[in-house]
């Protein structure tokens, strides 16, 4: 569901008749060939008028004019307006941006920006994006979006920021790179000649000012356009021009205060009431004002219609700005509005506050009739109309939740008294869910309990009678939503039994619309409990139900969860087939690609296809820089850490581990690579390469760690940790092995432990762990010289590996000659292990990529282009390679690498 937008916010303000041309500034704008224009100056200096006239005079048609308000700090709302503005110029591109927004729950703010950049890069002709009153936006994510547009869309988008203050963007870098045109107060201030021309235009030919008077006004306003305009308004009603001009002095704020009082003194009663009413509103139109004034106390209704009053004020040049071409929506100059509000407030504070509250409530009523709930709720909250605000916000929760705007919804909801929230069952539930979505699971429970108690105590007829529910369409799914919320909390705490119970409760409600999510909850519960057959069936049920009742992107997301399940359980062929299907189905939806590429990398990794794994990781990283699902970054970092550790590049591996921790995104999907699992793996790989392993590990402690029950449920991450520890323990057994009875007993005990862990891995369909534990048993049987048992195990292990396509354990645990003999592998498939085991300092994954390209005859520049890195970086990698291989030139490096089996 797309939120209703205020059309006038995307209209260029009409150039006033009194506008003065600024040809030297317009010429600078026309001649500038930069991706960003900043017009930064004080209020009332003609910033918007300049850009508006430039667009008109330059016949620029491809522009988006977006007039910002404080609520446009909401990231998703900002992008909704941006998408709509683009759609008016390029319908297909705008529709694609809107599609991304409708599926915004699939990726984070940075991912949405990358996706938008990718879409906008397809523009064949540039678009000018004008953001008026940008100082009202206070959101670092929006600043980052603008920064990305300026950086990556040089030829497709020109960003024009109109602001009273500099944005939180690195302007110095843009200046240095000549990507910025700045127009500031000194540029916008009128000179003496422009001041004279402006006053002639404003006052008319019949009203002549002497050069001395013009000079005095120029000096006292310092060319400030708003000051001159207000001076002109007052001059029209002055009998003694000289006396007025001579008394006209002070800084901008005092000039405004003085002139506002001058203006107010000349207004009729109807005009005064009209100004007092309309300045309370951020924007206004005649129907809205007619509705307001008619709803106010009787003494305020003696007036002509609002449209006539608007025109009357425009004739008096009272800072009324048209917001569309059809003269429907208007606003006042911000400075004029602020000064009038201060004037009315200081005149009669109590009366004005009461009046403003009444106006805000009536404005909320008008917007509610127009089905613009967001604006209605804001005005209701300003007017302390709490019940009406609650009704609108309750109706807004479901669509705003779908569009990832729960943080904004929660900000509005928090302005209500808790007593209002506590008496409404659906609002309490929505409030609880909003807290969950914003990471406040502990605070959510009381509101979920309150919602449940209200529903039990108040039957539907009574709720209708008391008007305690406004969104009955969502209320139908109350019990399914409540069970889902409680299930989410339980799952986050690792309570899979409770998660299962809540999933069954949600399913029992019969809510078809929520059945896809309900089946997914039950899949997670089964998965967490180790029931992988049940988990797979529930995942398939979720895909089917969502296909009938839900969203297409959710269907794709659910299939990707099924893909993750296949990979974790070692069913590589099924995972591969599903990924290919998703790639074909998602041809125009690149948001899925990074995770799919990462899945292909993990499959290649398990198959022992090291070089192919690296290539898929490279593709995943490149696609992820454009757009990705919210959990991609940490999953990519954790897996890459594992990959680097296997090659002996531990510095890079631990760096990736920290990146993953930093970007961790809570996800109900049981993770295969958690921070603790990755850390255990990295430590184990370092132990594998330790020269004196007996001096670096405590074998008794390792044995106890592997034997101990670490969780009520065993999952893939726990098995990775146990595999890592067991690999170190087995290596220690091999190093410590001798002919003593104590040594034999130690090895036999570890074999039993391996057998037990293999059984657990079999039970939980962790097929890669099964291969690892079988291979460890084989190594330990070799230690005992149990030739017959070792050969039998080797035979079954070869067959199992061939069936599952799982090869990586052999590469990690065995020497190159041993596993090539076992599996008939070519040198291309074990290069990383050879690099790690036969060099004093192994090549990193990136250095090995560079070595491959050197061997293939690529030049330094070609390598840089292929790997998307700087030429100087390539040269640095090559020098590192020469040092590690102990060679001095390319030919020697290639020869040495081939001798070692690296290429």
Cα–Cα distance between 891 and 889 in angstroms, integer?
6
Does position 511 have pLDDT exceeding 70, yes or no?
yes
Average of per-residue pLDDT across 135-162: 91
pLDDT at 693: 56
| Residue 851 and residue 843 in contact, taking contact as beta carbons nearer than 8 Å | yes
pLDDT at 836: 42
Tokens linked to 375: 């604006």
Cα–Cα distance between 181 and 51 in angstroms, integer?
13
pLDDT at 825: 45
Secondary structure (DSSP) of 297-363: -GGG--S--HHHHHHHHHHTT-SEEE-STTS-EEEE-HHHHHHHHHHHHHHSHHHHHHHHHHHHHHH
Q: Which carries the bigger pLDDT value, residue 148 or residue 832?
A: 148
3-state secondary structure 614-674: HHHHHHHHHHHCCCCCCCHHHHHHHHHHHHHHHCCCHHHHHHHHHHHHHCCCCCCCCCCCC
Q: Which carries the bigger pLDDT value, residue 105 or residue 499?
A: 499
Average of per-residue pLDDT across 437-450: 89
Helices and strands (H, E) in the chain, number of each type: 49, 8
Beta strand 284-285 with 329-332: parallel, antiparallel or unpaired?
A: antiparallel
642-671 b/e (C-beta count within 10 Å ≥ 16 → b): bbbbbbbbbebbbebbebbeebbeeebbbb
Cα–Cα distance between 377 and 437 in angstroms, integer?
21
pLDDT at 317: 63
pLDDT at 817: 46
Does position 388 have pLDDT exceeding 90, yes or no?
yes
| Residue 416 and residue 422 in contact, taking contact as beta carbons nearer than 8 Å | no
pLDDT band at residue 586 under the 50/70/90 scheme: low
Cα–Cα distance between 34 and 867 in angstroms, integer?
29
Q: Which carries the bigger pLDDT value, residue 326 or residue 759?
A: 759
pLDDT band at residue 602 under the 50/70/90 scheme: very high
Cα–Cα distance between 174 and 444 in angstroms, integer?
45
pLDDT at 107: 61
Beta strand 329-332 with 320-322: parallel, antiparallel or unpaired?
A: antiparallel
Average of per-residue pLDDT across 406-427: 94
Does position 779 have pLDDT exceeding 70, yes or no?
yes
Q: Which carries the bigger pLDDT value, residue 242 or residue 681?
A: 681
Cα–Cα distance between 281 and 350 in angstroms, integer?
19
- Reported as a single tens digit per residue, the pLDDT across 167-201 is 888 888 888 888 999 998 888 888 888 888 888 88
- Reported as a single tens digit per residue, the pLDDT across 344-369 is 888 889 999 999 999 999 999 999 99
pLDDT at 692: 53
- Reported as a single tens digit per residue, the pLDDT across 833-860 is 444 445 666 677 677 778 878 887 888 8
Does position 830 have pLDDT exceeding 50, yes or no?
no
pLDDT at 384: 94
Does position 479 have pLDDT exceeding 90, yes or no?
yes
pLDDT at 164: 83
pLDDT at 901: 63
| Residue 814 and residue 820 in contact, taking contact as beta carbons nearer than 8 Å | no
CA-wise closest residue to 840 among 792, 805, 884, 877? 884
The whole-chain average pLDDT of the chain stands at 84
pLDDT band at residue 635 under the 50/70/90 scheme: very high
Q: Which carries the bigger pLDDT value, residue 13 or residue 719?
A: 719
Does position 248 have pLDDT exceeding 80, yes or no?
no
């Amino acid at each position: 569901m797309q939120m209703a937008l205020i059309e006038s916010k995307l209209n260029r303000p009409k150039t006033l008749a009194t506008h003065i041309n600024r040809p030297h500034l317009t010429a600078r704008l026309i001649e500038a060939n930069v991706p960003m224009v900043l017009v930064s100056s004080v209020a009332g200096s003609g910033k918007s008028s300049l850009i508006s006239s430039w667009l008109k005079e330059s016949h620029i048609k491809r522009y988006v004019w977006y007039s910002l308000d404080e609520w446009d700090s909401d990231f998703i709302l900002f992008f909704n307006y941006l998408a709509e503005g683009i759609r008016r110029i390029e319908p297909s591109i705008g529709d694609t941006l809107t599609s991304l927004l409708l599926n915004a729950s699939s990726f984070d703010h940075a991912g949405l920006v990358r996706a938008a950049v990718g879409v906008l890069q397809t523009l064949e002709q540039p678009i000018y994006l004008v953001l008026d009153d940008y100082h009202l936006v206070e959101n670092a994510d929006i600043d980052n979006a603008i920064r990305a547009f300026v950086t990556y869309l040089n030829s497709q988008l020109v960003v024009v920021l109109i602001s009273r203050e500099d944005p939180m963007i690195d302007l110095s870098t843009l200046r240095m790179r000549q990507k910025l045109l700045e127009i500031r107060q000194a540029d916008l201030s009128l000179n003496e000649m422009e001041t004279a021309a402006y006053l002639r235009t404003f006052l008319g030919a019949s009203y002549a000012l002497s050069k001395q008077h013009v000079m005095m006004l120029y000096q006292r306003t310092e060319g400030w356009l708003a000051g001159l305009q207000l001076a002109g308004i007052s001059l029209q009603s002055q009998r003694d021009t000289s006396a007025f001009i001579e008394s006209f002095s002070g800084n901008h704020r005092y000039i405004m205060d003085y002139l506002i009082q001058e203006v107010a003194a000349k207004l009729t009663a109807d005009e005064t009431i009209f100004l007092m009413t309309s300045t309370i509103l951020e924007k206004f139109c005649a129907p809205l004002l007619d509705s307001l004034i008619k709803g106010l106390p009787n003494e305020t209704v003696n007036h002509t219609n609002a449209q006539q009053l608007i025109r009357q004020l425009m004739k008096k040049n009272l800072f009324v700005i048209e917001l569309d071409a059809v003269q429907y929506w208007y606003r006042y100059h911000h400075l004029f509005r602020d000064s009038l509000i201060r004037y009315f407030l200081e005149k009669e504070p109590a009366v004005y506050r009461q009046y403003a509250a009444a106006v805000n409530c009536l404005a909320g009523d008008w917007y509610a009739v127009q089905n613009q709930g967001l604006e209605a709720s804001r005005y209701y909250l300003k007017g302390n109309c709490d019940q009406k605000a609650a009704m609108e916000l309750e109706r807004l929760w479901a669509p705003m939740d779908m569009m990832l705007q729960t943080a904004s919804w929660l900000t509005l909801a928090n302005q209500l008294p808790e007593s209002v929230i506590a008496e409404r069952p659906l609002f309490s539930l929505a409030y609880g869910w909003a807290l969950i979505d914003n990471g406040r699971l502990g605070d959510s429970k009381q509101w979920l309990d309150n919602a449940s108690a209200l529903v039990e105590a108040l039957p539907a007829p009574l709720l209708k009678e008391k008007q305690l529910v406004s969104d009955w369409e969502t209320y139908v799914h109350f019990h399914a939503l409540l069970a889902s919320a409680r299930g989410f909390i339980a799952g986050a705490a690792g309570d899979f039994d409770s998660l299962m119970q809540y999933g069954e409760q949600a399913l029992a409600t019969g809510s078809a619309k929520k059945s896809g999510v309900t089946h997914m909850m039950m899949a997670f519960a089964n998965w967490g409990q180790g029931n992988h057959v049940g988990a797979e069936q529930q995942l398939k049920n979720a895909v089917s139900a969502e296909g009938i009742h839900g969203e297409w992107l959710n269907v794709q997301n659910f299939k990707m969860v099924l893909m993750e399940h296949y990979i974790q359980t070692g069913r590589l062929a099924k995972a591969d087939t599903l990924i290919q299907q998703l790639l074909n189905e998602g041809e125009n939806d690149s948001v899925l690609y990074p995770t799919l590429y990462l899945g292909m990398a993990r499959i290649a990794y398990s198959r022992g296809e090291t070089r192919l794994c690296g290539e898929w990781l490279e593709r995943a990283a490149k696609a992820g820089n454009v757009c990705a699902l919210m959990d991609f970054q940490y999953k990519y970092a954790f897996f890459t850490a594992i990959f680097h550790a296997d090659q002996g590049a531990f510095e890079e591996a631990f760096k990736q581990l920290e990146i993953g921790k930093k970007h961790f995104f809570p996800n109900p999907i049981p993770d295969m690579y958690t921070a603790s699992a990755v850390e255990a793996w990295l430590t184990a790989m370092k132990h594998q390469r330790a020269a004196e392993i007996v001096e670096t590990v405590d074998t008794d402690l390792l044995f106890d760690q592997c034997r101990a029950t670490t969780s009520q449920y065993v999952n893939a991450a726990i098995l990775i940790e146990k595999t890592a520890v067991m690999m170190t323990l087995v290596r220690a057994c091999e190093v410590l092995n001798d002919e003593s009875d104590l040594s034999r007993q130690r090895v036999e005990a570890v074999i039993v432990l391996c057998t037990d862990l293999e059984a657990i891995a079999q039970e939980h369909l962790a097929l890669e762990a099964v291969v690892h534990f079988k291979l460890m048993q084989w190594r330990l049987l070799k230690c005992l010289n149990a030739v017959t048992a070792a050969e039998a195990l080797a035979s079954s292990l070869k067959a199992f590996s061939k069936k599952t396509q799982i090869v990586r354990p052999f590469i990690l645990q065995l020497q190159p000659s041993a596993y090539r003999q076992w599996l008939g592998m070519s040198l291309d498939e074990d290069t990383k292990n050879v690099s790690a085991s036969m060099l004093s300092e192994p090549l990193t994954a990136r250095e090995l990529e560079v070595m491959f390209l050197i061997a293939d005859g690529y030049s330094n520049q070609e390598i840089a282009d292929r790997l998307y890195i700087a030429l100087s970086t390539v040269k640095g990698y090559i020098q590192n390679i020469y040092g590690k291989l102990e060679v001095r030139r390319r030919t020697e490096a290639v020869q040495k690498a081939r001798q070692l089996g690296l290429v």
